[in-house]
Amino acid sequence: MARIVAGIASSHVPAIGVAMDRGTTETPYWSPLFKGYGPAREWLAKLAPDVAIVVYNDHANALSLELIPTFLIGVAGEFPIADEGFGPRPVPVVKGHPELAWHLAESLILDEFDMTIANEMPVDHGLTVPLSVTCGKTDAWPFPVVPICVNVVQYPPPTGARCFKLGRAIRRAVDNYDADLRVLIYGTGGMSHQLQGERAGLINQTFDRAFLDGLTKDPLALTGITHTEYMREAGSEGVELVMWHVMRGALDDDVTEVYRHYHVPASNTAAAVLILENKGAA
Amino acid sequence: MNQPRDYDSIPGTYVYDGRRGRIGYALNMFCMSLNDAKNRALFKADPASYLERYKLTPEQRRTVLDRDWLGMLKVGGNIYYTIKIAFCDGLTFQDVAGMMSGVTKEAYMQMMLAGGRSPEGNRYKQTAESEESAHG
């Protein structure tokens, strides 16, 4: 049977992708961040999952305000790279896993999560930057991906508690998938940041560090954080952290924290990577 | 629909909720069109004519033509959309963030390098007076 072996949380700051695409990762500005991702890349290469579920948000690229799905799953065989307004990133097309994706879509809907299903969809930096920064520069991504897209662009996003329950439902669906697959799940976005208004540039290291601790040890307690609290404490775009709850909900209650790295600033953002393993599953 | 929200007390922040969605749709959909390289070329060549395709209010039109980044938010712009105009101009998120918060590019970058804007003193609007200056 399939099983979720680990979860990884990662920020998806577009400037991180630009630094990789332009080869500026060794500059004094960027090298602390990329060095911090080094152990995560090594861990991931060793883990060699068969497939990854990537929970991310689209930023006005595949989706516009025309249609705003709260939760969406991509079932395509491949996902092209979006032009976000400055040409597509020079990274490989993302291969999908239609069989697992359709299983998840059907299971989640019957489990009372009313997913939107996408047969065709480009993917943006929300998905490709976490892949780039954890897989490195490559001609082909090392595993296929099932994209799960969460609305955080139009208020209100789904609550943290709802996201955690979606993670639980993903876990049940994977556990019932009749193939011997080792599955990794990504939660992306965050940490504290605000891109807009006179308050742009807000960073809250105290909030972020407590969130990292809590996600490992007591994730249910964190699911009660309201949108207003995220926006007030972690910046208006810090509300992206709800997506980390999806990842955490798909893991065991009791996990091993394998690695974390936290860095300020990545452009306007506090960037972190956190790796959690289900005990004995990897 | 227009009832107050608890997040209205956060200073310098324009949450893209239904109140803004009702006024910002056309403005943001214009921005969305800039994901297409052909449209970027047309917009750059003749911004005023290009905007005729969209039903913008005069004030929305002005904020775009003047690159009034903060003004765009006040008339329903969503930052993930309005940033596409900045990309067209060769600007980054950090450039625009500096302009919205009213400091130089250098000062903004230094603030970020020093750990970013502190939440201390920035959680709640201080007084009615400061609310005026933040949103007036």
Q: Complex ipTM, two decimals?
A: 0.96
B127 pLDDT band (50/70/90 cuts)? low
Closest approach of A171 to chain B, Cα-based (Å): 31
Structure-block tokens of residue A134: 């954890």
Q: CB under 8 Å to A56, separation ≥6 — which residues?
A: A12, A123, A126, A127, A130, A147, A148, A149, A150, A186, A188, A189, A243
Q: Which pLDDT tens digit goes with each residue over A109-121?
A: 999 999 999 999 9
Q: How are beta strands A145-150 and A51-56 bridged, if at all?
A: parallel
Whether B5 maps to a domain, the answer reads no
The answer to whether A265 contacts B116, with C-beta atoms less than 8 Å apart, is yes
Residue A149 sits at φ, ψ, to 5 deg, of -110, 130
The answer to whether A60 contacts B116, with C-beta atoms less than 8 Å apart, is no
B61-66 long-range contacts, Cβ below 8 Å, gap at least 24? Answer: B64/B27, B64/B30
Domain ranges of chain A: 3-278
What pLDDT is attached to residue B136? 38
Whether B8 maps to a domain, the answer reads no
CA distances from B41 to A86, A139, B63 (A): 12, 30, 20
Q: Which pLDDT tens digit goes with each residue over A16-60?
A: 999 999 999 999 999 999 999 999 999 999 999 999 999 999 999
Question: How crowded is the C-beta side of A72, counted as CA atoms within 13 Å?
Answer: 24
Overall number of domains in chain B: 1
Whether B3 maps to a domain, the answer reads no
Handedness of CA B75, B81, B85, B90 (dihedral sign): positive
Question: Which parts of chain A register pLDDT below 50?
Answer: none
Q: Which of A193, A245, A261, A263 is labelled catalytic? A: A193
Domain hosting residue B95, numbered range: 14-135
Structure-block tokens of residue A59: 């930023």
DSSP secondary structure string for all residues of A151-215: --SSSPPPPHHHHHHHHHHHHHHHHT--S--EEEEEEE--SSB--SSTTTTB--HHHHHHHHHHH
Q: Which of A67, A57, A86, A56 is nearest to B29 (CA)?
A: A67
Whether B51 maps to a domain, the answer reads yes
Q: Is the pLDDT of residue B135 over 60?
A: no
Q: CB under 8 Å to A23, separation ≥6 — which residues?
A: none
Question: How is domain A3-278 classified at the CATH fold level?
Answer: Protocatechuate 4,5-dioxygenase; Chain B (3.40.830)
CATH of the domain at B55: 1.10.700.10
What pLDDT is attached to residue B2? 72
What pLDDT is attached to residue B131? 47
Whether B52 maps to a domain, the answer reads yes
- H/E stretch holding A71: strand A71-74
Whether B55 maps to a domain, the answer reads yes
Task: Assess whether A193 carries a catalytic annotation.
Answer: yes
Q: Which of A12, A97, A103, A125 is labelled catalytic? A: A125
Whether B7 maps to a domain, the answer reads no
CB-based contact, A14 to chain B, within 8 Å: yes
Lowest-confidence region among A214-218, B1-5, B44-48: B1-5
- H/E stretch holding A263: strand A255-266
Neighbours of A138 (CB within 10 A): 11
Q: CB under 8 Å to B134, separation ≥6 — which residues?
A: A198, B11, B12, B125
Whether B2 maps to a domain, the answer reads no
Within 8 A of A205 by CB-CB distance, chain B residues are 115
B126 pLDDT band (50/70/90 cuts)? confident
* End-to-end Cα distance, chain A: 14
The answer to whether B10 contacts A265, with C-beta atoms less than 8 Å apart, is no
